[in-house]
Structure 1
């Protein structure tokens, strides 16, 4: 029988793969939009009003969605100068502490950014452009992206607590 942590990890991996594809598409879209803008402006002297604004939104959303993908892949910045020389047990305890700090930061960020997006929705805030994009749409990328990062931190915390309980510090967190 699989443990709850393994099931949670598999579900989170599946969600992370989907989010990675979405973030990748959102990074490709600005390249295409900017290319279209350059062609329209340069060849036809007909600049678009929407391409730069939508490109910024795509990059913003991709960046926030990509944080959980990056963390799951172990590609976030690590400062290993001191921690690398410590024992695996001590590193695990330090990781528990730093993961708890990350969980706290992400939880506060999720709550505050969600409140900001809901306020924008209630006040009908729109971008000051001809598109009049409802601001809650790009703003929802913040709580969603940080919420996914929060779930990754929870996974790390659960794995580390399991390591501490079993005393097996040889396994690395994925």
Structure 2
């Protein structure tokens, strides 16, 4: 199961990188369109869709690498059982919030498909298409937080903190 979950988080990270390149390509295509009047419609919208997909799909991968911002001032002030209780509470809250977001993001994509909802921009893209990466990213984040919660409860969670030091200059 561990190997599958790690591959899932990596796959989401690779998908985020793919959409990041898509953002770049759409921005470059938009610039070329303005410069040469190529008539390509919707490049700004597609750049935005790709940017949103990048952000959501990278969430779980970033969490598992210890790169999310953690407000650890209180955690560093306590130790032992109190620290573990705070970790479990925060992971449980994260599971509830990300689970609700994954549910409603999936529901939104389904409703957009069901109602044939399209973008109001000049590209007229069916909205369920760019909403799917958002729902998938939220679902993978929920799985990652649930994974961390189970590991924390079992006493096997290793908190990976960023190697980047904080600079206050």
Match of residue 49 from structure 2: 57
User: Which has the higher Rg, Structure 1 or Structure 2?
Assistant: 1
Match of 1:70 among 34, 37, 62: 62
Contact 1:106 1:149 in 2 (8 A): yes
Match of residue 30 from structure 1: 23
C-alpha displacement at 1:161, in angstroms?
0.8
Q: Cα deviations across residues 100-134 of structure 1 (Å, max 9, x unaligned)?
A: 11111111112222221111111100112332211
Normalised to the residue count of structure 1, the TM-score between the two structures is 0.84
How many residues end up aligned between the 2 structures?
160
Contact 1:159 1:173 in 2 (8 A): no
SS in 2 for 1:139: helix
| Unpaired runs of at least 5, structure 2 | 161-169
Are the structure 2 counterparts of residues 70 and 88 from structure 1 closer, same or farther at C-alpha, using a change threshold of 3 Å?
Answer: farther
C-alpha displacement at 1:46, in angstroms?
3.4
C-alpha displacement at 1:59, in angstroms?
0.6
Match of residue 127 from structure 1: 119
Q: CA RMSD of the aligned region, Å?
A: 1.8
Normalised to the residue count of structure 2, the TM-score between the two structures is 0.86
- Equivalent positions of 1:1-174 (< 5 A) are 7=1, 9-42=2-35, 44-46=36-38, 48-163=40-155, 172-173=158-159
Contact 2:57 2:136 in 1 (8 A): yes
Contact 2:105 2:138 in 1 (8 A): no
